[in-house]
Structure 1
Amino acid sequence: MIVVDGRTDREKLFELLKSGGECSELDFKETLDFSKKIDELDFVKDAVSMCNRYPGGYIVIGVDDDGNPSARAEDTNWTQFDGAVLTDKIRKYVQAPLTAISQLHEVDGHTYCLVCLLSLEDGLLVPFSKLGQTVDGKGRQIVVFREGEIVRRDGAQNRPIEYSQWAEILKQHDACVRKDESKRMDTLVDNIIAVLGEKGKTPPLVYGMDEEALVHSLEACFEQKENEKLSRFIFQVAAEFQDDADAINGLAGIGAYALSYCNDSIFEKAADALYDCYAAIDDSKADSASKSLAVAVACYELGAQLVRMKRWDLIAPFVNRQSPSPSHFIYASWIRDCQVRAVNAGLFNEAGSGMMITVALDNATNHPIVAPDCGLNMGSDASAHERYLDLLCSFDFLYCLCVFVAGVGTGLAYPACCFYSEKRISNVASQILGGDPKARRELLPDDDDDKIAMCLRELYRLASNESLQKDSKFYWGFDPSRVLRKFLQDHPEQSDEQPPDMFSYNNPDRDPNNTSH
């Protein structure tokens, strides 16, 4: 699974390199030299082909077909891959606002360029507006693409479009048409909301409403404390999940807005309904794995909102619900059960649950209702995505810690955050494990610090081992928050023989920005 989310950061590069190989959304290139016309034309064709398959894809320059560093890239002129330069090259041959986003990365002495190519929002295909032609070393004409030709990425190749693909191609365009039509309805709904608000009434909540209109209705209902109406709507949305997995975004949205409005009662009902949807998933159905993944994504989005609102007291009860498995293997957390189902079904590559955070970020970007007040959408500033990514990683860390400390069952949690920089959890680690125990007591009220320290060691050893064994390129154990080491020193292991210290920020030989292992 390749999530095309517009990111070109270091973490995204590592995720793509571990994806298992080229596919419709990913192309590996050993090198490019734009002083050669053929290389420029080949890049333009690849870029346009990728944009013609919604939502787009990535090109990684500097690697072989297996994603390994290429020796051929050593003499590459990396300055030629500036995003503006790449965009200009593409737009010379198309009459559409296609854009390339690029970023250079230096890893273990090797340079990579990560290029993101996003499709047009309307999903319409882009034909070439000019002939792409050059001459080879023997003076022969080479035609790479022709005016009016439409090519589309298919697996690891560029192919002309086929009749059988048009239904898929027009799907996104049809969605845009529906969105445009709904804007007029949104205006009407806004007027209704304003009128009802003046009369002390709230607008209706109906499943199938446009997401923007639903947000306005939810805000009005929460502001006027219409708990009965909100409760009925929760049951209505949950009932749709068996036929429409997208209904889960509605549940997550209600729960997230409940947290924003400090309405614990509605949050708990939304969380209960989410758990009931999970428990009702029929493993014999073909869509069971995708539904399990949808539930896990919703849990992470609610978790991000819990962290943002600093509702430490609600995290452990939320994550430490056992899986209602009829077998002898019962997961301590239902979230882990959902992740394992997705991995076993092949929805993730060998990096496993590390993809969980990326999928959750992508879904929140496409459904801002699940992340109120976070400023997420496909055109939002990159800083909003960075902040939300920090929230997701922080929740993942706290979720794992709560399961390690207080979970009951045969399956622990998996730290997906170890595939990202440890700095992303620094803020929440300082709040929970710093000198003031208030937040820690809210998070784990029934467990003393000695037990928390013991489980934190286990969690960090797992995260460190996974980051090394899965070659995540991020070393875990540097402790950028500077509080974990002190917390563990204050609560040493009850053993005659102490294991090696897992935190090494006092070691001058260890640089947290050095990704070599």
Structure 2
Amino acid sequence: MTELFAVDGTVNDEKLTELLAVGHETQHLDYKRGWDLSKSEAGRKSRLELAVCVAAFANTRLGGYIVVGADNDGSLDHDEPPIDPRQFDEANLSQIVESFISGTVTLHVKVHERAARLVAVIFVGPTQDRLPVIFTKEGTVEPQNPRSAVMFRPGQVYVRRGTKCVPAEHRDWAEVLARLVDQIRAEAREVASDEIQQIMAATPPTSERALRLAVDFDSEPRAFADTLAESAQSESFGRLLRRRVRATAWHREDPNDLSAVLPMLDRLFIAGAHAILEDDEGLLNTVLTCMVDLYRRPMKERAGDLAGALLWRTIAAGAMALGGLAVREEAWAFVGKLAMPPDLSPVREFEGSSRYQSWIRHASTMASRAHLLGAVDQPLPGALIRFARVKAGELPLLADDVTGGASFELHGPILDQDAVLDSLCQFDFLWCTLALLADPSHAGFQTLPGFATFYAHRTVPVIEQLVDRSSLRYELRTALEPEWANALIALDDVATRYGQSTVGWAWSMHGSPSVQQFIAEWGPTSPGLA
């Protein structure tokens, strides 16, 4: 499951703010109201809970965070006794946990003061040897009581499933062993590389057999990207891509489980980036067909269901990351397809409902209703742009063209110079404009101007290109100049109000002389622009 925060091991004050803002527990975040970790009998249950939480997080691919001193909604707890900071020393926590388990865990801990309360942030890293942590002792809450509850037994492996720490079952072992499997695969690929190259040298490069050997959809993202230079040009690659997507499972029974879908989506985003960089329209069409196929799978779900919302948010963030790359490459025809795929425009929430012209608007609405764009009472401004920025930094090819622009944290600081973020804001503006051209009478419904939560200088350059170059407008969409002018006026109005309501400032493009001139020439009189 894609998180609203970075699972990066930091435990500083900014990280605490980030974790509390999530507002609910996740697979990688657990809130505890308080723990007494003393060696007394009263502290035994808390020590056992600590061992269970640490073991479960250590057996996940990324690890996780425990915030001690917070309620389940991320608010500070004022009912429990204050925690003792001496008990939350890293060495003390490690000693407690390792007295019950076999395996070495990685812990980073820091105690902070918030609103006159002490709050501990504990990061549990995945095991360094990639092998699961196993309990070696029985975790009886009251050892002298034969009827006492037993929290764990020797030989048990605990995992984090959803928001709970539970004993591993058959379905959990793929997650537990994921990092070990990745290592084995990497070593096997390295050993087999020479043999594969020899086979490919003796096999016609266009054959599907050679492609199947060359393209490993389960390889690491960078390795997959490296194979595209030769394999993506073949027609057989498109067939392989479509077959792999059709075979990708999406579990309606467990809506949080995107374990099979997310890696496939990442490969699609990488292939899409390759298509943009190589100006390969055929490949981009294939990638979009596959993305639309995955997007449609939960379309029968009603609005607000987590099952579809998480998948839709992930796909929309990837489409935006590709759109930002297309803007930087000035691949304007690709921008239009990414904004409104021909096979999925317009999009209905459900049968008989209103239609969104862009899947990005649909995904944003569904994700917001499912509280996947920030905390319940505190949505993250420009959330989808931020998710796209994170995705662009995670995957190869999506931001390789920008030196030093790879890393980005969802809740992290915004740099003044960030070409990737600028291009995402510009793509965000363009999809909103295209949606308005398709349905000019419903500006507020068809758009969601996340770009208005960032300073206007990030977006205005593409608006100036739009009004100065008729060829650019033609590549994006066939429309008359008055239609473009009306769309710009309407979007400026929506963006101004959206910026005021979310971040407290009035976004506007009226400071650009070329935009003012275009509006004055082609649009109706507008006090803010003409």
Matched, 1:319 2:339: yes
How do 1:92-107 and structure 2 match up within 5 A? 93-102=100-109
Kindly provide the amino acid, as one letter, of the partner of residue 273 in structure 2.
A
Query: Counterpart of 2:50?
Result: 44
Gaps of 5+ in 1: 376-380, 468-474, 499-517
Query: Counterpart of 2:257?
Result: none
SS in 2 for 1:209: coil
Query: Counterpart of 2:495?
Result: 459
Query: Counterpart of 1:254?
Result: 271
How do 1:351-362 and structure 2 match up within 5 A? none
How far is the alpha carbon of 1:167 from its aligned partner?
Answer: 0.6
Query: Counterpart of 2:212?
Result: 206
- Distance, in Å, in 2 between the alignment partners of 1:436 and 1:342 is 28
- Distance, in Å, in 1 between the alignment partners of 2:405 and 2:462 is 33
Taking structure 1 as reference, are residues 457 and 21 closer, same or farther at Cα in structure 2, changes over 3 Å only? same
Taking structure 1 as reference, are residues 59 and 440 closer, same or farther at Cα in structure 2, changes over 3 Å only? farther
Query: Counterpart of 1:168?
Result: 171
Query: Counterpart of 1:402?
Result: 430
How far is the alpha carbon of 1:234 from its aligned partner?
Answer: 2.3
How do 1:153-232 and structure 2 match up within 5 A? 161=167, 165-173=168-176, 175=178, 178-179=181-182, 180-181=184-185, 183-189=187-193, 192-193=196-197, 204-206=210-212, 209-212=216-219, 216=223, 219=226, 222=229, 227=233, 229=234, 231-232=235-236
Taking structure 1 as reference, are residues 73 and 253 closer, same or farther at Cα in structure 2, changes over 3 Å only? same
Deviations 1:465-502 (A, max 9, x none): 3x4xxxxxxx45398xxx9795599959966699xxxx
More off after superposition, 406-415 vs 250-259: 406-415
SS in 2 for 1:116: strand
Equivalent residue in structure 2 for 1:233, among 207, 215, 237 = 237
Taking structure 1 as reference, are residues 416 and 435 closer, same or farther at Cα in structure 2, changes over 3 Å only? closer
- Distance, in Å, in 2 between the alignment partners of 1:372 and 1:18 is 28
Equivalent residue in structure 2 for 1:384, among 407, 416, 421 = 407
Taking structure 1 as reference, are residues 144 and 218 closer, same or farther at Cα in structure 2, changes over 3 Å only? closer
Confirm or deny: 8 A CA contact 2:301 2:308 kept in the other structure. Answer: no
How do 1:399-438 and structure 2 match up within 5 A? 399-407=427-435, 408-409=438-439, 411-414=445-448, 430-433=457-460, 437-438=464-465
Query: Counterpart of 1:117?
Result: 124
Kindly provide the amino acid, as one letter, of the partner of residue 319 in structure 1.
A
Confirm or deny: 8 A CA contact 2:426 2:451 kept in the other structure. Answer: no
Kindly provide the amino acid, as one letter, of the partner of residue 30 in structure 1.
R
- Distance, in Å, in 1 between the alignment partners of 2:91 and 2:390 is 25
Taking structure 1 as reference, are residues 20 and 5 closer, same or farther at Cα in structure 2, changes over 3 Å only? closer
Deviations 1:184-212 (A, max 9, x none): 24542355448857999589333982443
Kindly provide the amino acid, as one letter, of the partner of residue 69 in structure 2.
G
- Distance, in Å, in 2 between the alignment partners of 1:192 and 1:198 is 10
Q: How many residues align?
A: 461
SS in 1 for 2:122: strand
Kindly provide the amino acid, as one letter, of the partner of residue 318 in structure 1.
L
Equivalent residue in structure 2 for 1:304, among 314, 321, 328 = 321
How far is the alpha carbon of 1:59 from its aligned partner?
Answer: 1.7
Equivalent residue in structure 1 for 2:361, among 310, 332, 336 = 336
- Distance, in Å, in 1 between the alignment partners of 2:485 and 2:171 is 54
Confirm or deny: 8 A CA contact 2:52 2:165 kept in the other structure. Answer: yes
Taking structure 1 as reference, are residues 293 and 45 closer, same or farther at Cα in structure 2, changes over 3 Å only? closer
Task: Work out the percentage of aligned pairs sharing the same amino acid.
Answer: 17
How far is the alpha carbon of 1:333 from its aligned partner?
Answer: 0.6
- Distance, in Å, in 2 between the alignment partners of 1:496 and 1:214 is 50
- Distance, in Å, in 2 between the alignment partners of 1:154 and 1:280 is 26
Confirm or deny: 8 A CA contact 1:122 1:176 kept in the other structure. Answer: no
Taking structure 1 as reference, are residues 440 and 199 closer, same or farther at Cα in structure 2, changes over 3 Å only? farther
- Distance, in Å, in 1 between the alignment partners of 2:224 and 2:309 is 28
How do 1:272-287 and structure 2 match up within 5 A? 272-274=288-290, 276-277=292-293, 281=297, 283-284=299-300
Confirm or deny: 8 A CA contact 2:58 2:133 kept in the other structure. Answer: yes
Query: Counterpart of 2:255?
Result: none
Gaps of 5+ in 2: 250-260, 475-480
Q: Calculate the aligned-residue CA RMSD, in Å.
A: 5.7
More off after superposition, 446-455 vs 55-64: 446-455
How far is the alpha carbon of 1:168 from its aligned partner?
Answer: 2.0
Confirm or deny: 8 A CA contact 2:31 2:66 kept in the other structure. Answer: yes
Deviations 1:297-328 (A, max 9, x none): 24423532543572353434421443254746
Taking structure 1 as reference, are residues 18 and 278 closer, same or farther at Cα in structure 2, changes over 3 Å only? same
Query: Counterpart of 1:63?
Result: 70
Confirm or deny: 8 A CA contact 1:98 1:118 kept in the other structure. Answer: yes
- Distance, in Å, in 1 between the alignment partners of 2:353 and 2:79 is 53
Kindly provide the amino acid, as one letter, of the partner of residue 311 in structure 1.
E
- Distance, in Å, in 2 between the alignment partners of 1:357 and 1:79 is 41
How far is the alpha carbon of 1:254 from its aligned partner?
Answer: 1.0
Taking structure 1 as reference, are residues 249 and 95 closer, same or farther at Cα in structure 2, changes over 3 Å only? same
- Distance, in Å, in 2 between the alignment partners of 1:57 and 1:269 is 38
TM-score, scaled to structure 1: 0.64
TM-score, scaled to structure 2: 0.63
How far is the alpha carbon of 1:256 from its aligned partner?
Answer: 1.7
Kindly provide the amino acid, as one letter, of the partner of residue 432 in structure 1.
T
- Distance, in Å, in 2 between the alignment partners of 1:81 and 1:488 is 59
